Homo-oligomer: A and B are copies of this chain.
Amino acid sequence: MSRWKTSSAMSPRTKPPLQGSLQRSAPVFAALGDEARLRLVALLCAGGAMSIAQLTEGSQITRQGVTKHLLVLADAGLVNDVKIGRERMWEFAPSRLEEARRSLDHVARQWDDALLSLKRMVET
């Protein structure tokens, strides 16, 4: 039950924040919140599709570890996999990351607006 208490202490006309777009980005941020996974994202982003073995090489962790990270990224919708022969190629999927970017932009803009209206209040 995610009801919002419309607290009377809040400034008037404050609409309930996070009506969804930000909330939905939480899994994406969680997936990005790990250096190993950030590395994978950057690799796939710059180098196109890669196999697990390729992604593992040059890493500290095991192939199985890499696989798990890839699954996490896939759950978050940040990567897709395609089987080619005995290999499994992983590729970056930009849509969810775009969404997350927009969420951050939205938050930042909200902040700017708040600052602006505060400034206006002070100046008046």
Contact = CB atoms under 8 A, between A and B. Distances in A.
Interface of A: 1-5, 7, 9-11, 14, 17-18, 22-23, 25-35, 38-39, 41-43, 45-48, 54, 57-58, 60, 92, 94, 97-98, 100-101, 104-105, 107-108, 110-111, 114, 118
Interface of chain A: mostly helix, strand, loop or mixed: helix
Nearest to A4: B58
A38 B28 CA distance: 12
Contacts of A42: 17-18, 22, 107, 110
25 contacts: A1-B60, A2-B60, A4-B58, A5-B58, A7-B54, A7-B58, A17-B42, A17-B43, A17-B46, A25-B32, A26-B32, A26-B38, A29-B32, A29-B38, A30-B33, A32-B33, A42-B110, A45-B111, A45-B114, A46-B114, A94-B111, A97-B108, A98-B108, A101-B101, A101-B105
